[in-house]
Amino acid sequence: MTRKQRYQYVIEYFKKNAPDAETELIYDNPYQLLVAVILSAQCTDKRVNLTTPAIFEKFPDVASLSQTDFEELFPFIRSISYPNNKTKHLIGMAKMVMDDFKGEIPMTVEELIKLPGVGRKTANVITSVVDQQPNMAVDTHVYRVSKRIGLVPQTASTPLAVEKELIKNIPTELVHRAHHWLILHGRYICVARNPRCEVCGLRKICQYFHKLNGGIPFD
């Protein structure tokens, strides 16, 4: 099987079985999503969703968040991983959005990564989810799943390398959706330890599964 054929199989599978895949973070607008994604680094979406309602009630917009200080915000995210850094990042992000972007969340990767607490992965999430831009956020799930299946070569050793391979091979209009396909597959099926191959609909073309069972479907 060629890599092109593998991509075709994977895309058709997810279009049929997960046509409406989307982020599991709960948000109402770009500001709320940005806060949630910053908090979600090395933290579960479930925990973030339990935490953000109180934050959004106290700080309903970026302007109000920009006016707070560490002592006021910290208690709201104490239960989140790395709360000290994330508290500082959220306040710094809000201040920069107010000062440099007139209170509007920017919607390009280049602008977003200027904000405290926002790296390329977060910027890709925001632009793909809010604006459906063809940007691929590569988190630990996307990285693992795409390499296990064989969508990217094992030599793609960095998130950026994996991102470029996926962007190159997935139709532009599907990139924003494919991001969620791979994340959710990695979160619930192709988990890091003891992947649930017995219930995986992709095992027929998965290099990892075939390797475990004595044969690798080389390109």
Cβ-based neighbours of 26, under 8 Å, separated by 6 or more: 36, 49, 52
Whether 121 sits among the annotated catalytic residues: the reply is yes
The 10 Å Cβ neighbour count of residue 186 is 21
Of 28, 121, 168, 211, the active-site residue reads 121
Residue with tokens 């934050």: 55
The 10 Å Cβ neighbour count of residue 16 is 9
What architecture does CATH give domain 3-21+136-212? Orthogonal Bundle (1.10)
Q: Point out the annotated binding site.
A: 190, 197, 200, 206
Q: Write out pLDDT tens, residues 73-120.
A: 999 999 999 999 999 999 999 999 999 999 999 999 999 999 999 999
Alpha helices in the chain (DSSP H): 3-17, 30-40, 45-58, 62-66, 70-73, 83-100, 109-112, 120-131, 140-149, 159-169, 175-188, 207-212
The pLDDT confidence band at residue 219, using thresholds 50, 70 and 90, is very low
Can you tell me whether residue 181 is helix, strand or coil? helix
The 10 Å Cβ neighbour count of residue 59 is 23
Closest CA to 93 of 50, 32, 23, 29: 32
pLDDT value for 215 = 58
Written as six digits, the tokens of 102 are 């007139």
Report percent pLDDT > 70 for the chain.
Answer: 98
The 10 Å Cβ neighbour count of residue 108 is 13
- Overall fold of domain 30-131: Endonuclease III; domain 1 (1.10.340)
The residue extents of the domains of the chain are: 3-21+136-212, 30-131
Whether 139 sits among the annotated catalytic residues: the reply is yes
Rounded Cα gap, residues 92 and 204, in angstroms: 47
pLDDT higher than 90, residue 218: no
Of 28, 139, 204, 219, the active-site residue reads 139
Across the range 181-197, mean pLDDT stands at 95
Q: Point out the annotated binding site for [4Fe-4S] cluster.
A: 190, 197, 200, 206
**Could you tell me if 142 and 186 are in contact, meaning their C-beta atoms sit under 8 angstroms apart?**
yes
